[in-house]
Structure 1
Amino acid sequence: MSDRFVAQSLDEVSFWSRIMKEHSFFLGLGFRCEDTVLKKEADHFYRVFEDIERRVHCFTLDVDPNTIKEFNKEVHSAVCHIWAFKRKVLGLILSCKLPGQTNFPLLVDHVSREANYFRNRLEELNRGQLEPLYDAIIDENVFFLRIMGEHAQFIGHLLDPSERKLAEQARDFSNDFDQLLVQARDIDSMRPQSQTAPILDQFLDQNRVSVKSLRDFKKTARDLIDQCKIKSIIHPLLADHVFREAERFLEIIDMFENSLKGKGRTQEIIHH
């Protein structure tokens, strides 16, 4: 269990610290020139998570679990602070105190939910909290399906209006994930009766098909942006950022499917 704790902790911190760092960068891009205090705060969080990202790669799997537990606590504190910063920014936007800035309110809410997800992962890992496999499957899919649907919405809004075909594809993906999210919430509300291997296996299969299609769409958009072949205001790093999150979701789906096939109903895993 100690080896598993270390491996999962390093994996979570490695992935999500980079995501938090990039959130800081994106928020900073959206502030106005006069928002110097907010820009400095965003720059501060960028440096904090850049340092965490650097340090996590210095650990090996044979590190003392207690060292990782203390590291997780430190990272958790940083995540709590960036979550509070994101919610403060959302409040300023919704109260019309930052007119002319370019961060969508839903985007700021989106990145704050990802911060909340990350800090919950750290808390669960440090507590050694185990969640039944079937519960984890539903919870993770409800979270990530919403994230994927919002990515499609953001892409559609940031493309130039003349990119009609790509914008239409983004809208189609948004509608698809809206439907998948409603279905996932239906399965959630039917718990525990909905928690059967056949139902959850079909649930994962269906989601994988849509996530793979969205992942491929994001990869195409990322490559076209890198090559300056489409018109948009999407930063190349943002295009890669959302692609990596789709890849992450697919890895989680694969992990769950392997667990369904290899483990019984009473088996438990640390909530990924």
Structure 2
Amino acid sequence: MNGVLLPGDFVRESLELHLFFGRIMKEHSIFLEAGFVAKDATFAQQADMFKSQFGEVLHKAVILANGVVSEETLISGESITDKTLRAEQITEELSGISIESVITTEELRLTPNAGVNLSQLEAQVTALNQKAISLTNALVLFKTNILEGMLQCKLFTFNFPLLIIHIRREALFYIHQLERLQRRLVVDFVQEAIEEEKFWNRQMAEHAQFISHLLDPTESDLIAKANNFVGQFDRLEHIAQGGGQGTITLGQLTGETITTTRAFRDFKAAGTEGLLTCKIKSIIIPLLADHVLREANHYLRILNRSKQDLRL
């Protein structure tokens, strides 16, 4: 870290983070709620409460973000895609869980960089960040309790234990990013590139594992492709963690990761469309497919920024 964030950068970076991670946390709550059985209605109600509270965080971020966030972020597909609204509507129909798609509709109308005086929003964004930190800490505790119940065979859910670990890790990463912003710390882009690649290569590998295990056994071609991505991202994560550093530079690693992530993003996009049009057999809820697609888009934006910063 080096230097202090200017008010405008603090506001823009915070709101861009909420547009991505606020929606991710809201959807984690939906996936948790959908996974509980009837006897655990109390757990489902808690998940629904988190869904509503993160919906409020996301909605506030959307309101504040108009004319503030970068065009690069809006066109990246990391917050919403051309499939998000359909995925929400179909998931609501299939699960019976209410999803406030009006937030997505409003977000589709966001415009970038409209000359807003960002310093005037600093106090509101600081308060929103603190609210999100407190709420996400509570969600981490909820996820931890679910995981412990599962591992002790005292709680059943249709979500894998690894998925709970995975989404808990993302919540902790969101908190870490918010706390850095609250301290107004400027990122060291080289160190950030290393940390982001360590984190997201692991997440991408686990996405591929989830896809492989949630597809119907008859979808053998898709399962094989998913398993191939597991191997590719496991290798990239190993290198990012320090394995094989003598044979590849950070720049080369980032370049290879961009190629692999782009291919995985395209695989996810095709899969999401296949699920939305009922052409793929699986137990993947449609919103989960769009969710992991957006995470790949987010990672690609980070990687491309790293590529520019490293002057690859």
Q: Same fold (TM over 0.5)?
A: yes
Out of 118, 123, 136, which is 1:66 matched to?
Answer: 123
* Match in the other structure for 1:204: 254
Identity %: 37
Is this contact kept in 1: 2:236–2:253, CA < 8 A?
A: no
Which one of the candidate residues 246, 268, 282 is aligned to 1:218? 268
SS at match of 1:124: helix
State how far apart, in whole Å, the 2-side matches of 1:71 and 1:55 are.
8
Query: 1:45 aligns to what?
Result: 50
Q: In structure 2, what is the equivalent of residue 256 of structure 1?
A: 306
Alignment partner for residue 61 of structure 2, among 15, 37, 56? 56
Query: Which residue is 2:235 aligned to?
Result: 179
Measured against aligned partners, the alpha-carbon deviations of 1:249-269 in whole angstroms (never above 9, x if no partner) come to 00000111111229xxxxxxx
Q: Secondary structure at the match of 1:116?
A: helix
Structure 1, unmatched stretches of 5+, are 263-272
* Distance in 2 between residues matched to 1:90 and 1:66, nearest whole Å: 36
Offset, 1:132: 2.0
* Match of residue 157, structure 1, among 213, 216, 225: 213
Deviation at 1:131, TM superposition (A): 3.5
What CA deviation, in whole Å up to 9, does each residue of 1:75-100 have, x standing for no partner?
1111111111111101000000114x
SS of structure 2 residue aligned to 1:56? helix
Give the drift of 1:199. 1.8
CA distance in 2, matches of 1:256, 1:66: 30
Partner of 1:91: 148
Alpha-carbon distance in structure 1 between the residues aligned to 2:281 and 2:17: 34
Q: Which amino acid aligns with 1:85?
A: F
Q: 1:240 aligns with which of 290, 293, 301?
A: 290
Deviations 1:222-254 (A, max 9, x none): 011111111101111111000000000000001
User: Which amino acid in 1 is paired with 2:194?
Assistant: I
Runs (5+) with no aligned partner, structure 2: 1-5, 69-117
Contact 2:194-2:240 at 8 Å conserved across structures: yes
The Cα RMSD (Å) is: 1.6
Task: Tell me, in whole angstroms, the C-alpha distance in 2 between the residues paired with 1:5 and 1:164.
Answer: 46
8 Å contact kept, 2:57–2:128: no
Structure 1 residue 59: deviation in Å? 1.1
Bigger relative contact order (CA 8 A; separation at least 6): 2
Question: How many aligned positions are there?
Answer: 254
Aligned to 1:270: none
Secondary structure of 1:59's counterpart equals: helix
Please give the secondary structure, in 2, of the residue aligned with 1:64. Answer: helix
Question: Does residue 1:20 correspond to 2:25, yes or no?
Answer: yes
CA distance in 2 between counterparts of 1:116 and 1:173 reads 25
The one of 164, 180, 184 equivalent to 1:124 is 180
Q: How far apart are 1:14 and its partner, in Å? A: 1.2
TM-score, length-normalised on structure 1?
0.90
